């Protein structure tokens, strides 16, 4: 009998995984994924950029390259983070990863031994907890409200728990809740982590997808002690198909991520980095992101409006000002995991909320994605879910 490592018992395919497979049937209206809208991908411009890049770079594009990544791309990222997130940094503080998911995996492995404590928002991103589980930590969920992580609760936990090695947060258009931390909350949070000196992973894949209001500075922009590790991604602002993300951190921390990257996969795709950079040289990314924001805003408006019209009054949901998701809270007696199966019979899907709580519970919640379904399907899908909810009301 083959003996696997103990971490594998924490990574077994879950009920949720089986459910998500069902949502891939073509006739299902799925609000379950988190895919960007493919009709917005700049296919022609990417093709052109690919050609130009191959002409200019030749065999260098097809060869191994450095672990830290393609310098012009890292310089582009430095400028972009300054412009969009208020972060002052240097190319030396950035490595390119094979998607942000790899940044999450490295974060767990750089900081967490078995039994160490990782703090995160309650709820938090499923893919992050899944990555961290490989290191077998203890998850402590910090309560949140509409302004973000509740800092008083965080401080209570930090005063008590001695093995906190890392905090993981998504301050902008959080996955799954759609919420964004207020400026006040960001400042208070930084005060606390500066006091306790706990490394904090700030995951920011959606920050540029703001529909209204002003951008807020990243935690990383207020980081005076080099405690914040910022994760960025091209997946939601350009395309996910190359799997390109980045990590921005202090030199000391980044050197650990670099060592981990060498062990894990040597480097991100050379071709992909050069191709992406050539696209960025030849095109205006701001204009492209504007297009995405306009479409997602329209879809958010439509989904929220339809939910307001169709969902019973007992159901509440968040009003995200950007990003890809809204978060629905049902009456406590309705189990959204059970209800998901009834929805799939009606050919509509969402992700049950309990999978976003590493310690379980909260079965009366679910996550809805609005970025990748056309208008008519948004309306029809929400109506179907509303019908199933009504059937479950007491």
Chain positions 151 to 210 lying near its own copies, rule: CB under 8 A, are 165, 197, 199
DSSP state of 146: T
Give the binding range for its own copies (CB under 8 A) out of 6-14, 210-218, 303-311, 383-391.
6-14
Q: From the CB of 166, what's the least distance to its own copies, in Å?
A: 9
CB closer to its own copies, 91 vs 259: 259
Report the distance separating Cα 163 and Cα 113, nearest Å: 10
Report the distance separating Cα 176 and Cα 257, nearest Å: 26
Give the binding range for its own copies (CB under 8 A) out of 70-78, 104-112, 280-288, 345-353.
104-112
Give the binding range for its own copies (CB under 8 A) out of 72-80, 101-109, 343-351, 363-371.
101-109
Report the distance separating Cα 336 and Cα 346, nearest Å: 15
Q: 31-59 in b/e burial notation, b at 16+ Cβ within 10 A?
A: bbbbebbeebbbeeebeebbeebbeebee
Window 243 to 262, contacts with its own copies (CB under 8 A): 243, 252-253, 255-256, 259-260, 262
CB closer to its own copies, 317 vs 357: 357
Tell me how crowded residue 143 is: count the other CB atoms within 10 A of its CB: 13
Among 194, 215, 265, 392, which residue sits at the site for its own copies (rule: CB under 8 A)? Answer: 265
Q: From the CB of 389, what's the least distance to its own copies, in Å?
A: 29
Q: From the CB of 21, what's the least distance to its own copies, in Å?
A: 11
Q: Is 363 in the site for its own copies (CB under 8 A)?
A: no
Window 279 to 338, contacts with its own copies (CB under 8 A): none
Q: From the CB of 143, what's the least distance to its own copies, in Å?
A: 25
Long-range (24+ apart) CB contacts under 8 A made by 4-11 are: 6/136, 7/133, 7/134, 7/135, 7/136, 10/133, 10/134, 10/136, 11/130, 11/133, 11/134
CB closer to its own copies, 185 vs 236: 236
Q: Is 89 in the site for its own copies (CB under 8 A)?
A: no
Among 64, 79, 313, 345, which residue sits at the site for its own copies (rule: CB under 8 A)? Answer: 64
Among 110, 149, 219, 324, which residue sits at the site for its own copies (rule: CB under 8 A)? Answer: 110
Q: From the CB of 12, what's the least distance to its own copies, in Å?
A: 7
* DSSP characters over 314-348: T-EE---SBSSEEEEE--TT--HHHHHHHHHHTTE
Cis peptide leading into residue 123 (ω within 30°) = yes
Is the dihedral angle over the CA atoms 113, 115, 119, 121 positive or is it negative? Answer: positive
Report the distance separating Cα 148 and Cα 145, nearest Å: 5
CB closer to its own copies, 102 vs 174: 102
């Amino acid at each position: 009998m083959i003996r696997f490592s103990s971490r594998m018992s924490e990574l077994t395919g879950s009920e949720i995984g089986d459910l998500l497979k069902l949502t891939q049937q073509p006739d299902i209206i799925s609000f379950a994924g988190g895919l960007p809208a493919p009709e917005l991908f700049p296919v022609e411009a990417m093709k052109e950029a690919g050609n130009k890049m191959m002409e200019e770079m030749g065999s260098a594009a097809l060869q191994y390259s450095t672990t830290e990544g393609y310098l012009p791309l890292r310089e582009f990222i430095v400028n972009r983070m300054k412009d969009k997130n208020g972060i002052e940094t240097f190319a030396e503080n950035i490595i390119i990863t094979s998607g942000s998911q790899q940044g999450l995996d490295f974060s767990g492995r750089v900081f967490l031994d078995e039994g160490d404590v990782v703090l995160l928002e309650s709820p938090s991103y499923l893919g992050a907890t899944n990555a961290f589980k490989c290191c077998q930590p203890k998850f402590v969920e910090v309560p949140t409200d509409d302004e973000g992580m509740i800092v008083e609760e965080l401080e209570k936990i930090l005063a008590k728990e001695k093995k906190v090695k890392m905090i993981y947060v998504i301050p902008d258009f959080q996955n799954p809740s759609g919420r964004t931390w207020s400026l006040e909350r960001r400042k208070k949070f930084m005060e606390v982590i500066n006091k306790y000196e706990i490394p904090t992973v700030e995951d920011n894949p959606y920050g540029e997808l703001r529909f209204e209001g002003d951008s807020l500075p990243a935690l990383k922009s207020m980081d005076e002690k080099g405690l914040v590790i910022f994760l960025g991604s091209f997946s939601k602002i350009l395309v996910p198909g190359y799997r390109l993300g980045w990590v921005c951190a202090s030199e000391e921390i980044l050197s650990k991520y670099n060592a981990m990257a060498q062990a894990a996969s040597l480097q991100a795709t050379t071709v992909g980095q050069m191709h992406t950079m050539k696209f960025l040289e030849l095109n205006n990314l701001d204009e492209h992101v504007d297009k995405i924001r306009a479409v997602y805003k329209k879809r958010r408006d439509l989904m929220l409006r339809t939910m307001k019209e169709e969902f019973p009054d007992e159901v509440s949901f968040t009003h995200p000002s950007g990003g890809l998701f809204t978060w629905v809270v049902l009456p406590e007696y309705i189990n959204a995991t059970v209800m998901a199966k009834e929805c799939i019979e009606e050919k509509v899907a969402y992700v049950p909320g309990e999978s976003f709580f590493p310690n379980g519970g909260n079965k009366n919640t679910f996550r809805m994605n609005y970025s990748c379904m056309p208008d008519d399907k948004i309306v029809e899908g929400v109506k179907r879910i509303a019908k199933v909810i009504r059937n479950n009301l007491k």
